[in-house]
Amino acid sequence: MVTIYDIAAKAGVSAMTVSRVINNTGKISDKTRAKVKRVMEELNYVPNQTARSLVLQQTRILFLLITDITNPFYTTLARGAEDAATKNGFRLLFGNSDESLDKESDYIQTILSTRVDGVLVAPAGDPSLPHLEKLRRHNIPFVLLDREVPGIGCDVVLGDSKEGGRRLVEHLAEHGHRRIAMINGSSSISSARLRLQGYREAMKLHDLPCGELDIYETSFGLRSDLSGIEAWLDAMPEPPTAIIAGNNVLALEVMSVLRKRGISVPEQISLVCFDDLGPYADFDPFITVIAQQAYHFGYIGMQMLLERIQEREPSAPWKKIVLPAELIVRRSVAEPPSP
Amino acid sequence: MVTIYDIAAKAGVSAMTVSRVINNTGKISDKTRAKVKRVMEELNYVPNQTARSLVLQQTRILFLLITDITNPFYTTLARGAEDAATKNGFRLLFGNSDESLDKESDYIQTILSTRVDGVLVAPAGDPSLPHLEKLRRHNIPFVLLDREVPGIGCDVVLGDSKEGGRRLVEHLAEHGHRRIAMINGSSSISSARLRLQGYREAMKLHDLPCGELDIYETSFGLRSDLSGIEAWLDAMPEPPTAIIAGNNVLALEVMSVLRKRGISVPEQISLVCFDDLGPYADFDPFITVIAQQAYHFGYIGMQMLLERIQEREPSAPWKKIVLPAELIVRRSVAEPPSP
DNA sequence: TAGCGTAGAGTTATCGATAACATTTCAAGC
DNA sequence: GCTTGAAATGTTATCGATAACTCTACGCTA
């Protein structure tokens, strides 16, 4: 591998001169600069970023840790983050925790040892706290995306989950639904908690019945086994006329179970969810959703992270951005079937 | 930031002894080992991977460069690659070239300067050749995924694109279609070329008409402007009764145009494509596709890459794996409407 | 008890770059 | 021709780890 010394030797200058040419610093005569550049081209020289990071104490690499790389919400978010990062001369690496605390922990370790300059995290849930404290202890700036974690102070970009929950209930109530059930992610995840809270408040406000059996708490991630969902549907004494899914993955899974049972949406049951389906919503614009501005989550989060890294205002108070929830009405809601 | 010297000082040993404890090499008394470990815990020490990489001349980091992070084909592939990498103690970083040669070139530069141990590339197309030659010149092992590039020798994992093209035509022909059009990615991409070739051969075999206007060559990536597709549909003298899309993104876009025009699928026109829609195919199992084993592309490609890196067989001949194409019949194909 | 082998440590050089300081070069001014 | 100061370039130390070598102390053997 060609090093800066090889270039220096061949160009008949010192390594420092080559370094100055590379970084455009200090004073170099045009003649020397040209000669060094020519030699670099000739030998296909590429500076060793590892060596550079070691002395500069910064990598200009940022990390985005998401919980589900196959979920379009996160890939769209990733695009936003990437765009903001490259626009500022940083590179972005991705990691995928799969909603697992263990994998998340591994990635945190990787992040610490790689000495990245900053991290964007969609945490697996409240128990992610120790992971975040680790980042804090090691002075690595980070911004939370989509989910808050109680107990840690930091910048965070959230969606208006509670409001989203309310709106979905209202939308269904307007169509005459009274038996509205909800399937949701774990309550150890702040967004799931707020979605549920919004749902509960709106149900109460509209004087709709809502027993504990109407709510099913499971994981946001993709599962191979849908029997939990089946059991839940069977357990409700009076079947619901509408279901709210806490995210897009859960909606897919509920849909799959309903189809298997020959229950048609929206004729026999209405179905709505949080999070849009990315490009696929376009394909068959079927399901009514609370859409989140996924791209903006990434873009804004990245901007906040870069501000912390470049510390325009040292130790500014933590910021919390809440992006609005938008109801997109499509074709998955109808009047409840007459009894 | 805590360094190995801080640990050494506090534990009253040399840095080398700490290094030996970290890496479990050499001989260390149990007493010393315990003391060093305790100090490392106390100070939350994490070894600096940058420094380590510099001296070891290896990073244990691999890179996956894909062309569309929002395409489920690639995210599923990414999962496979990640699983194979972590299983072997390597970490995997992702990059997204967006089907752009320029972005691809930037990533190649990043890869070279980061000194990763190996690369999995889905190239933007045949003009990616110089980028791959750069990797070769710098002795970075790489494996191509999904697309070949003429002019470079390397391991590659492909889908059986030609066979897929044939099968789609046959499937449509069996349903009585004679006017079958195709929208496809750029012919500078090997998989697009083969898909087209399969289509052409099958059309000829079945004695079906196929003029130049029936084929529309565009980009595989997502576009905001669908007017090209509109113009193509308008330009065909006799409208087709079926359309084959060269990948899932193109199918989405064609679908979008058709819906806008009030043309229903499959009643008025049949639509099939290459590549499945990931989890979304489950949601509304609508479109008939040639599915590729996306996960296996990643998993197998990664295994081949690791073999090259660990050089079990130095300079073994290049391997070319062709994964079978599977026709999944759903509901987007019907008999052509009677004239 | 001298000699020797080895477990358990330490020393020094190195990876490839850059910061900080040091030195050389050369043109302008008197 | 000599001084002076800025421009141009070089030298040395450093970042945090590891490889390769060296050293020390102790126990066993003859």
Nucleotides of C under 7 A from a protein CB: 7-12, 14-20
What percent of chain B has a predicted confidence (pLDDT) above 70? 99
The string of pLDDT tens digits covering residues B38-94 is 999 999 999 999 999 999 999 999 999 999 988 999 999 999 999 999 899 898 888
User: Residue B333 has what pLDDT?
Assistant: 96
The string of pLDDT tens digits covering residues A46-73 is 999 999 999 999 999 999 999 998 899 9
A11 C-beta less than 7 Å away from strand D = no
User: Residue B316 has what pLDDT?
Assistant: 87
Q: Please give the single-letter amino acid code of residue B333.
A: V
Q: How far is the CA of B26 from the C1' of C3 (A)?
A: 26
The string of pLDDT tens digits covering residues A244-281 is 999 999 999 999 999 999 999 999 999 999 999 887 77
CA B151 to chain CA centroid, Å, is 20
Q: Which chain B residues contact residue A46 at CB under 8 A?
A: 109, 112-113, 138
> CA of A76, closest CA in chain B: separation in Å?
7
- Give the chain A residue nearest B77 (alpha carbons): A70
Closest in B76, B82, B222 to A279, CB measured: B222
Cβ within 7 Å of nucleic strand C, residues: A 1, 3-5, 15-16, 18-19, 22-23, 25, 47-48, 51-52, 54-56; B 12-17, 26-29, 31-33, 51, 54-55, 57
What percent of chain A has a predicted confidence (pLDDT) above 90? 86
Q: Does A222 touch chain B (CB under 8 A)?
A: yes
User: Residue A244 has what pLDDT?
Assistant: 98
- Calculate mean pLDDT across residues A205-229: 94
Given a cut of 80, whether residue A44 has pLDDT beyond it is yes
A139–B46 C-beta distance less than 8 A: no
User: Residue A7 has what pLDDT?
Assistant: 95
Least trusted range by pLDDT, from A205-214, A293-302, B159-168, B220-229: B220-229
Kindly report which amino acid residue has its CA closest to the C1' atom of nucleotide D18. Answer: B55
Least trusted range by pLDDT, from A26-35, A306-315, B148-157, B304-313: A306-315
Given a cut of 70, whether residue A13 has pLDDT beyond it is yes
Given a cut of 70, whether residue A314 has pLDDT beyond it is no
A59–B50 C-beta distance less than 8 A: yes
Structural domains of chain A ordered from first start: 4-47 (1.10.260.40), 58-159+293-325 (3.40.50.2300), 161-292 (3.40.50.2300)
Three-state SS letters, chain A: CCCHHHHHHHHCCCHHHHHHHHHCCCCCCHHHHHHHHHHHHHCCCCCCHHHHHHHHCCCCEEEEEECCCCCHHHHHHHHHHHHHHHHCCCEEEEEECCCCHHHHHHHHHHHHHHCCCEEEECCCCHHHHHHHHHHHHCCCCEEEECCCCCCCCCEEEEECHHHHHHHHHHHHHHCCCCCEEEEECCCCCHHHHHHHHHHHHHHHHCCCCCCHHHEEECCCCCCCCCHHHHHHHHHCCCCCCEEEECCHHHHHHHHHHHHHCCCCCCCCCEEEEECCCCHHHHHCCCCEEEECCHHHHHHHHHHHHHHHHHCCCCCCCCCEEEECCEEECCCCCCCCCCC
A70–B79 C-beta distance less than 8 A: yes
Q: Which chain B residues contact residue A134 at CB under 8 A?
A: 44
Closest in A49, A115, A278 to B70, CB measured: A278
Q: How far is the CA of A24 from the C1' of D12 (A)?
A: 22
B4 C-beta less than 7 Å away from strand D = yes
Residue spans of chain B under pLDDT 70: 312-314, 339
Q: How far is the CA of B23 from the C1' of D30 (A)?
A: 40
Using the CA of B17, which nucleotide's C1' is the nearest one? Answer: C9
d(CA B20, CA A85): 38
Q: How far is the CA of B114 from the C1' of C25 (A)?
A: 38
B255–A284 C-beta distance less than 8 A: yes
